[in-house]
Chains A and B, each alone.
Chain A
Amino acid sequence: MRMTVLEALRAAMAYELDNDPDVLILGEDVGTAGGIFRVTEGLQNRFGKYRVVDTPMDEKGIIGHAIGLALFGMKPIAEIQFSGFIHDAHEQIMFCAAKYRWISGGQYTVPMVIRAPSFGGIKGGIWHSQSIESYYAHGGGIKIVCPSTPQDAYGLMLAAIRDPDPVLVLEPVPLYRALSGEVNENGEASKIGVGELVRSGSHVTAVTYGPLRHTTAKVADELAASHGIETEVIDLVSLIPYDIDLLTESVETTGRLVIIHEASETLGFGAELAARVQQRSFGSLQAPIERVGAPDVPYSYRVGDEYCRPNERRIAATIKRTAEYSF
C-alpha cells in the first residue's frame, strides 16, 4: 500500500498494538490529538486510553515511567514531542534505560522505544530542528535508527518495538508527509544495523542518513549529468550499530569519502565514521575524508534551513572537490 512516512510509522505501531497486549504508547498529546504531527492519530480511539496515554508535560517523567513499565514486561513507545525537548531526559535515557541491563548484571532489561521527531528544514529554529544523535550514540546501551523512506519507517519501527533493548528512533520530520512510497504491510521487522546502497558510483562515496539521503541522491544525479562524477550514495539507516562493511567496501572501491549529516561537525557522527574508515581502509584513500555538516552554531529560525543545514550547493561542492582531489 502506498503511504507517507508518517502513515508508515503509524501502521507499524498499530500493528504491534494489535498483536502484542504489552505494547503501549505514551507521550504529550499523543492520545486525543494524535500527536502534534498526528503520527498517532486515531490510535487512542482504536486501542483506548490505557494503551495510548496522554502524559503530563514532563520528558524526564515520560522516559522514567516508560523505564518502569518496561522493567515489568511492558513494551512502551515513548514519544518526545520534538527531539530538541529530549535533553531533560538525557540521564534517564543514557544512564538509566541504556544501563539497566549492564548495571544489574543482565537481571533487568528495558525494551522500550523512544520516538524523537528530528532534523531541520521546517523553519523550526533551534529547538525544533535538532539532530541529537551524537548525544545518544556515546557510551553504549541504546540503539539508534534513522528511517528515511516509508518502508524503512515501517520495518524499523517494528524492529524497535520488538528489540530487547532500548531503541531511539530519529523520525525524519521534513519527510513525514513529503514522501510517500509503497509499504509492504506484512508485519515484518527490518534488521537494525543494515544500511542501504541508494545509488552506485565509482568515483566517490557519499554516506548520509535521514532526510539528507534524498538531497544527496539528487545531488549525485546532477553531478553525474553535469560533470560526469559518479557518486555512490549510502544511507546508513541505523547509527548504533552502523553498517561498517557497506561503507568500507564502497570506500575501498572509490577511495574517496564525503560524510553528510545535519548535526554540527565537531564530534558529530561523521567524526566516528571518518575515524573508523581511515583505520580500516587507510591504504585505499586517495583524498582526505570530508564532512558536510552544520557549523558549531545554533539553528537560526530565519536562515538555519539555508545556512546551517547542509544544502544541495554545499553537498555538491564538497563531493566535487573530493572527487577531483589529487595529492
Chain B
Amino acid sequence: MWLQKMVIKNLKPYRGRVEIVFGRRYLQGKHIYVIYGDNGFGKTSLLDAIYWGLFGKRARKTQLIFNDKEIERKGAEMFVELTFYDDFSNKTYTIFRKAVKAGSIIQEKLEVIIDGESITGDVLYKQDCIEEFLIPYEISKFFFFDAEYVKTLAREQGGEIVKDSVELLLGLKAIRESIEDLTSIKGEFERQRRKYFMEENNYREIAEKLENISKKLEMYRKRRERIQRELKKKREERIELRRELAESGIEEIKKILQRRDELESKLELLKEGREEIKRKLEELCTNIHLLILKSELITAEKYLENKLKKLQREKEKLRELSFRMLFLKRLLDELKCPICGKIPLELDIRLLSEELEKLEKNNPLISKELTSIDEEYSRYYGFYSQLKQKLENIKQFSTSDVYELRIKLREINEEINRVQKDILRKDELLKNIGFSLVSSIEGKISDLQREIGELEERDKNLFEKIEELEQRKKKLERELKRFLPKKSEILELEAKIDFIDAIKMAFKDYLDEMIEKRRNDIIKSSSEIFLKLTNKKDEYRGFEFSSQSNYKFQIVCKDGSKPNMDTISYGEMEVMALSFILGLNMYSQIKAPIITDTLFGRLSPYVQENIAKVFSEMDNQIILLVLKDDRPNGKTEIELIAPFFKQNICKEFIIKRDQIKRESKIYECKILAGD
C-alpha cells in the first residue's frame, strides 16, 4: 500500500491548502521519502494529519488539530485528503475527512472513494471500510510512529500495550473475542440454570404457603357458613315478629279508616248542603229589595184598590147618564117608552126634551169619556193584578228564611269544622298508631337487631379475610405456575453449557497453538532485526515474548539464558522495541507505509546506521519526518546515516515557516538525494 498524495487544509500550523505528492510506487526503484523541518514547523502535524484522516477523532481530537487562527472564524473548515494505492487489490483509495465549524460545534464529514467511486453509507460503515481495506487502528501505531512511541514500548517492555495489536495482527483477536462471547453465553445459561433452581425452591415454598392458605380458607368458610345460618335464623325471627305486630295493628287501623271514610262521606254531604244554603241565600240576596219594598207595594196595592173603586164609581155614573140620554133620545124619537111602550104626554115630552138638551149640553163627549175611563180602569186593574201577583211572590221570601238560612249556614259550617277536626284526629291517630307500632316493634326486636348486627359484623370480617386469602391464593397459584419445575429446560441448558465448554476448549487449544506457531515467526523476524540493530550481536541470540508472560519482552542470550529484564539498559530496550515494531511489520500481511517522526535523535550512531540499512532493505514505502536546522546549510538528523539509504530516497520535501504570518508551507527539495 502506497501513500500517493496527501492534501491538508487549515491543520495545525498549515493555513490554506497544502499538497504533498509522493507519486507512484517504486518510482525509479526508490521507496524512501524524507520530509525535513525544524522544531515546531509541522512534522508531527503531518503524522497527526494521517492519523486523523484515517481514523478521525478516535485517533486525534479534531479541535486540537484545527489551525488555531482559522478555528476562530465562523464556518471555518479543515480537511485531510489521503490517496493510497494498494498493489495487492490494484485499487486506489481516497479518504477525504472534513471538519466544519457550525456555531459552537464542529461537524465532521467522511468520504471514501474506491477507484473513483464514492462509498454510500453512514460514517461508521465508511470507517469500517477504511479499517478493513487499508489498516486497522490497532495496527496503525506499528506503521506510523515517532520516537515517543518507541520509548513508551521500551518503558513498558511490551506487555499489555502490544497484546491487542499482536493478536489482531495474528488474526487471533476474533478467536479470543469468540471465546469471550462463548463465556458470556455460558454465563447467561448458567444464570438461567441458577434461576431455574431458585424457581424450584420458590415453587416448594409457594406450594407450602398455598396449602396453609387453603386450610385457613376452609376453616374461615366453615365458620362463615355457621354465622350465616345463625343470621338467617335471626332474620326470620325478626320478620315473624314484625308480621305479628303489624297484623295486630292492622285491625285497629281498619276500624279507624272505616270511621274516617264515614266522616268523609258526611263531610261531603254537609258541603253539598252548605252549597245549597249558599245558593238560596244568594237568591234571597238578589230579591232582598223586594222585602224592603213589601210595605211600599202593600201601600201601592191599597192605592190601586181605591183608584179602581173611584174609577168604577165614575164609570157607573157615566153609564147611568149615558143610558138616560139614550133612553130620552129613543123616547123622543119614537114618542113611546122604549121600556113599557106608553105614549108620553106632551108636557112630559117637553120636559124630557129640555132634560135631554141639558144633558147633551153638559156632557157632549160622554161616550169618549166612558171609553177613556174604561181604558184607565183596565190599565190600573192590570197594575193591580201584577201587584197582587208580586205580593204573592214576595210572601215566598219571608225574611225569616234569610235568618233561618244564615243560622243553618252557621250550623252547617260548625258541623263541617267538627267533622274536619274529627278526620284530622283520625289521621293523627293513624299516624300515632303507625309510630306506636314501629316503637313497639323496635322495642321487641332491638335485641334481635343487635344480635344480627354483631353477626353481620363478624360475617363481614370473615368475608374480608376470605377475600384477602383468596386474592393471595390466586396470586400464589399464578406464581406457582411461573415457578413450575423446569426439568427439561435445565437438562437442555446443561447440555448447552457442556457444548459451549467443549467449543471453548477447542478454541483455546487452537488459539494457543496458533499463538505458539505465529509468535515464533514474529519472534524470529523481530530477533533478526534486533540482531541487526544491536551492538551486542555476539552476546544475544534474540528476544522473545509469550502469551503466558502477557507479551512481556524477554532477551535470550546465546547460551540460552534469559537475563533479568530490569537490569537491561533503556537504550537497549528502545532498540528491542524498534526491532519488535519492524519485525511485526515485516511479518504482517499489511504492507502499509512506515512513517516515522524524528526517530533517530537519541539512538547511538551505530544503531542509526543499522536502522538505515534495514530501511534500505525493506520494500515498504518509508516516509521519514526528519529534524533539520532551518538555517541555511543547517544540519539534518540523518546527516551521518544518509549514505546508507541515499540511493533509495525518492523525494525530499522541506517545511518552511513564515513566522510573520504564522503559517507553514511544504516545498519539494533536494538536500541529500541531489548531492
User: Is A bound to B?
Assistant: no
Q: Which A residues are within 8 Å of any B CB, using their own CB?
A: none
